[in-house]
Amino acid sequence: MSQGTAVEAVAIPPQQRRLRMRLRRLDGKVSPYLYISPFFLLFAVFGLFPLAYTGWVSLTDRNLLDPTTHFVGLDNYTALLHDSYFWNAVENTLGIFVISTVPQLFLALVLAHVLNTKLHGRTLFRMAVLLPQITSLVAVALIFTQLFSRDYGLINYVLDHVGIGKVDWEAGDYTSWIALSVMVIWRWTGYNALIYLAAMQAIPDELYEAAAIDGARPWRQFWHVTIPNLRPTIIFTVIVSTIGGLQLFTEPYLFEPDHYGATGGSARQYQTVVMYLYEKSFGSSQFKLGYASAIGWALFMLIAVISLVNFLIIRRIRSAD
């Protein structure tokens, strides 16, 4: 910092001083807006405008292959309501979401509880648990697709060995859902466990001391002190998982052997909503941007509704005890 400035200020002529004063006042008034403007400008251009524009495009028959665009009102939405592929995608998305999120968050809670003890190699275990999180979705999808492959996959080898026999994971409805859920669970459990762990460590000691005086054993302490105090965090993770889970794309997209069409298997057994959006827009060169935008808005509504339902359910549990 310039310590000399104050001294200089005394020495310089009055007009210049007044100019400086004015500059400083201007600095104080304008600078804050200048500093926050990059965020708002870029968000407006690349975030808000596209989102609003989706609404408009969804009311047109815009197609990249067709230079003319017509306003079609709600036609895309009515077509969507009668589109069995769309409802199939919704069903798949919700199914995969449920069987991946419920075990994942439960396991994360247990893991956090276990990590919240006096441990040797604490940092090492935490790092191991977080390792899947730094792995890209593409890598997760490709590695697990290999592990789940019908003929040479390691998982089928083990199943065959213990007498269950080989499973054609990709071809079946529920088997493909299970395989995809395993990928999601693998990648996100550790991350959620660390979030829970952080929240557990913020619970005041007095609550545990009081419970211990009342004679509560560790397991009862977990149910009656830890879980209730974790509820805001649980709500947060459930909502974040909802937003992420309902937008599942990369894993099912790469699970398909010939994945350019994004159809999610030969019988569309694991096509998700975002995959369907991709199929209609870029995937199979249909370029139906108007229709795909309608899918986007429908998904937005779906996410909002499911988040709200989840929120209400978890709040209900809280008021129950």
Partner 1 sequence: MVPTVDRLPVARPRRRRQLSRRFHQAGPGTYIFLIVVAAASAFPLYWSFVVASHDNSAVSEYPPVLTPGGQLWHNIGRLFNSGEVNVDFWAALTNSLIVATTVSFAVVMFSALAGFAFAKLEFRGSRMLLLAVVATMLVPVQLGVIPLYIEMKDFGWTNSLQAVIAPFLVSAFGVFLMRQYIVGAVPNELIDASRVDGCHTLRIFWHVVLPAVRPIAAVLGLLTFMTTWNDFFWPLIVLSPQNPTVQVAVSSLASGYVEDFALVLTGTFISILPLLFVFVVLGRQIIGGIMQGAVKG
Considering only residues 236 to 295 of the shown chain, the ones binding partner 1 according to CB under 8 A are 236, 240, 243-244, 247, 249-250, 254, 257-260, 274, 277-278, 281-282, 289, 292-293
Subset of 109-138 contacting partner 1 (CB under 8 A):
111, 114-120, 123, 125-138
Cβ proximity of 92 and 175 under 8 Å? no
Cα distance between residue 50 and residue 43, in whole Å = 10
Cβ proximity of 257 and 169 under 8 Å? no
Cα distance between residue 109 and residue 230, in whole Å = 10
Of the candidate spans 77-85, 90-98, 233-241, 312-320, the one that interacts with partner 1 by CB under 8 A turns out to be: 233-241
The alpha carbon torsion through 251, 257, 259, 261 (nearest 10 deg) reads -130
Q: Tell me the C-alpha to C-alpha distance, in Å, between residue 188 and each of 48, 107, 116.
A: 28, 10, 19
Subset of 199-218 contacting partner 1 (CB under 8 A):
199, 201-202, 205, 208-209, 212, 218
Residue 48 touches partner 1, criterion: CB under 8 A? yes
Indicate the angle between helix axes 122-134 and 173-201, nearest 10 degrees.
140
Distance of closest approach, residue 95 Cβ to partner 1, in angstroms = 21
Per the document, the length of the chain is 321
Subset of 2-31 contacting partner 1 (CB under 8 A):
2-3, 5-6, 9, 23-24, 27-29, 31
Largest CA distance in the chain: 95
Question: Helix, strand, or coil here: 254?
Answer: helix
Residue 305 touches partner 1, criterion: CB under 8 A? no
Residue 186 touches partner 1, criterion: CB under 8 A? yes
Closest to partner 1 by CB, 50 vs 73, is 50
Residue 308 touches partner 1, criterion: CB under 8 A? no
Subset of 71-90 contacting partner 1 (CB under 8 A):
none
Of the candidate spans 10-18, 90-98, 149-157, 167-175, the one that interacts with partner 1 by CB under 8 A turns out to be: 149-157
Of the candidate spans 36-44, 73-81, 83-91, 166-174, the one that interacts with partner 1 by CB under 8 A turns out to be: 36-44
Question: 71: which strand partners?
Answer: 60
Of the candidate spans 82-90, 96-104, 142-150, 165-173, the one that interacts with partner 1 by CB under 8 A turns out to be: 142-150
Cβ proximity of 69 and 281 under 8 Å? no
Distance of closest approach, residue 68 Cβ to partner 1, in angstroms = 15
Distance of closest approach, residue 315 Cβ to partner 1, in angstroms = 17
Distance of closest approach, residue 206 Cβ to partner 1, in angstroms = 10
Closest to partner 1 by CB, 35 vs 320, is 35
Residue 171 touches partner 1, criterion: CB under 8 A? no
Residue 303 touches partner 1, criterion: CB under 8 A? yes
Tell me which DSSP letter residue 60 carries: B
Looking up tokens 């009342």, which residue turns up?
Answer: 214
Q: Phi then psi for 166, rounded to 5 degrees?
A: -75, 145
Total interface residues for partner 1 by CB under 8 A: 108
Residue 104 touches partner 1, criterion: CB under 8 A? no
Residue 102 touches partner 1, criterion: CB under 8 A? no
Q: How far apart are the first and last CA of the chain?
A: 58
Cα distance between residue 222 and residue 21, in whole Å = 61
Mention every residue, 6+ apart, whose C-beta is less than 8 A from residue 50.
none
